[in-house]
Chain A
Amino acid sequence: TQLLEQSPQFLSIQEGENLTVYCNSSSVFSSLQWYRQEPGEGPVLLVTVVTGGEVKKLKRLTFQFGDARKDSSLHITAAQPGDTGLYLCAGVRGTYKYIFGTGTRLKVLA
């Protein structure tokens, strides 16, 4: 059962555009992670956010954890074709359980 809804589900944009992906839940998580997955491979961790309201930046990617620790967003500035992939959020419940989101498939056109 997916408890984390991501939007949009699909996104196709031109190189240089900005975009935001949302991850929403009615549940509180102890922390939240974002992963990127490329075809034929497993998800790879991008970032972990722990504190409500926390903002982390990773080059052109900005991640924010909601104040109530129920939602998160990923913003990409000046997208590049190398950003293409499946983006997944994952909420951490308790000490070990990861609940993954429904996924956002991003395609950046050159």
Chain B
Amino acid sequence: GAGVSQSPRYKVTKRGQDVALRCDPISGHVSLYWYRQALGQGPEFLTYFNYEAQQDKSGLPNDRFSAERPEGSISTLTIQRTEQRDSAMYRCASSYTTSGGYEQFFGPGTRLTVL
């Protein structure tokens, strides 16, 4: 079956532009996570959705970052007025349950480069 997909896979933008990163989770998965991952390090939690409800956004670095999942399926992470420090790999993951400790399935990520 289809796994988690993300688009675009690569995004190069100029400082000050807005970007929207899309995540399409595995069908039927109720939990959706966004992470940011530096090379060679573990993913850093950004935000969590339980169906369409954003249950935790404590990891979003500042108010330029926002995320939504309006119909409980596809999610978009938006970064406004991008800065060079926003350059990173952004990954989403989904899980079929809302209980922790179950497997998260990760997408291939979007590599964002801000010039």
B-binding residues in A (CB < 8 A): 1-2, 4, 6, 30-31, 33, 40-45, 48, 50, 86, 88-90, 92-103, 105
Contact = CB atoms under 8 A, between A and B. Distances in A.
Given A40-B108, A42-B93, A97 B48 contact: yes
Contacts of B108: 40-42
A96 B31 CA distance: 9
Contacts, number: 73
A68 B4 CA distance: 34
Contacts of A4: 42
Interface stretch (B11-19, B62-70, B76-84, B94-102): B94-102
Interface residues of B, number: 28
Interface of B: 4, 31, 33, 35, 40-45, 48, 50, 55-56, 91, 93, 98-109
B100 A101 contact: no
A93 B56 CA distance: 13
